[in-house]
Structures are given as C-alpha cells and as structure tokens.
C-alpha cells in the first residue's frame, strides 16, 4: 500500500509544483541515500520492530466481511535544504516545514480518496546518520511517524469477495411503520408494506 501511496504523493507534488522527489524504502534507507545531497521525501516501511496493529473493525461490512482492521505503521523523512545563499540552520528548518505542509495536506487527500484513515504520531527534527565515505548532509532532516488503516476483508486468494446471499422469490418481507404527530394525539397512522 505504501508504495502505491508514494506514487500518488509524487503525482500530487508534481501537480502542486513541489520540487521535491518522493522515494520509497522497505526497511532502512541505504547509506548512500541517507547522506545524498538532494532534497527528498522518503516513505519508509520499517523492519525489525512490531509497530503495526490488528484491531476490531470500526463498522460492520457485510460483503465482503471485514473481521479486523489492520493499522500499518510508517515513517516519513523529509530531507530539506534551503537554496538561500549562506543558508542557516533556521533556513533549512523553515524549508523542511514548508515541505511538511505539502506532505501532510496531500497525504490527507490521498487517504481520504482511498477511504482509509491516517493517524499522525511523533514528529520532529533528527540528526542524520553519516554514511562512511559519503558526503555529509548539510540541511535539515525532519521525521514523522504515522499509521494508515486498511480493511482485512475475508476474500479468496484472487481477491474475490464471498458470494452475496440472495433472498428467494418465495419469501415475503413485511415492514410496519407507525407515525404519530404529537404525544396524546391518538394512535396515528399505520402503514404496512410488502
């Protein structure tokens, strides 16, 4: 799911003319990537810690049935570098926050279209890990934790939902609706449908 979201975020950045590349990493970023000079947003699926959760479904889904809700945890890193002459740490931090604004707003729109929910966790500036034999990153590195929920429908391996139950033609369904205009105004009207 995160790789697909990365593609959608990159398209949203292009549409908004955000001049920052969006990258996907499964596990740790490669050392070369960590200290590369270019600005970027990295969506990371962490390995080595159990951060995902399986929860009870929020609402009932009849077909396909959703016995649980998976809440997948991710990390986003923003590598920002101000292009101002003799940029200060404050300038780099301001640039990171400007990029963060686009990350948050565009991810919110993407997740809403997918009918999922996003929950933001801890966030803040961190020190980059210097890779041996690579250039030292001069800029700001901002990291955010987040989770995105996804349904866990009961489907076949091919992804098909269970067959829907069809009510036979030999079954009659009757409903009754009672309507009362005001308290004590009589029994009101009764409508019976079939």
The confidence score (pLDDT) of residue 150 equals 82
DSSP 3-state of 190? strand
Task: Read off φ and ψ for residue 101, nearest 5 degrees.
Answer: -55, -45
Of 20-24, 56-60, 94-98, 149-153, give the lowest mean pLDDT range. 56-60
With b for 16 or more beta-carbon neighbours within 10 A and e for fewer, the 128-157 pattern comes to: eeebeeeeebebbbbbbbbbbbebbbeeee
Confidence category of residue 127, pLDDT binned at 50, 70, 90? confident
The confidence score (pLDDT) of residue 130 equals 57
Closest to 31 in 3D by CA, of 142, 144, 133, 138? 133
The string of pLDDT tens digits covering residues 150-182 is 877 778 888 787 666 666 666 666 777 766 666
Supply the CATH classification number for the domain 2-152: 3.30.2000
**Domain coordinates of the chain in residue numbers?**
2-152
CA 135 to centroid of chain Cα atoms = 33
Overall pTM > 0.95: no
Cβ contact 190:178 at 8 Å:
yes
Check whether 133 has a pLDDT greater than 60.
no
Of 26-30, 57-61, 139-143, give the lowest mean pLDDT range. 57-61
Helical H segments across the chain, by residue range: 2-15, 31-34, 89-113
The confidence score (pLDDT) of residue 2 equals 87
N-terminal to C-terminal alpha carbon distance within the chain: 45
Q: What does the alpha-carbon distance between residue 156 and residue 101 come to, in Å, rounded to a whole number?
A: 40
Structure-token match 């003319």, residue found: 17
């Amino acid at each position: 799911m995160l790789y697909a979201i990365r593609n959608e975020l990159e398209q949203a950045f292009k549409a908004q003319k955000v001049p920052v590349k969006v990258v996907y990493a499964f596990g740790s970023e490669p050392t070369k990537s960590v200290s590369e000079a270019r600005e970027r947003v990295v969506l990371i699926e962490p390995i080595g810690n159990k951060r995902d959760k399986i929860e009870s479904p929020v609402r009932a889904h009849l077909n396909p049935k959703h016995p649980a809700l998976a809440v997948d945890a991710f990390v986003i890193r923003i590598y920002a570098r101000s292009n101002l002459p003799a940029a200060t740490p404050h300038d780099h931090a301001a640039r990171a926050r400007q990029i963060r604004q686009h990350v948050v707003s565009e991810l919110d729109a993407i997740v809403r279209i997918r009918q999922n929910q996003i929950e933001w966790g801890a966030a803040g500036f961190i020190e980059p890990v210097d890779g041996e034999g690579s250039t030292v990153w001069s800029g700001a590195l901002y990291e955010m934790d987040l989770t995105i929920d996804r349904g866990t429908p009961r489907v076949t391996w091919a992804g098909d939902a269970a067959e829907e139950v069809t009510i036979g033609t030999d079954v009659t369904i009757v409903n009754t609706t009672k309507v009362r205009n005001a308290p004590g105004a009589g029994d009101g009207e009764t409508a019976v449908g079939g």
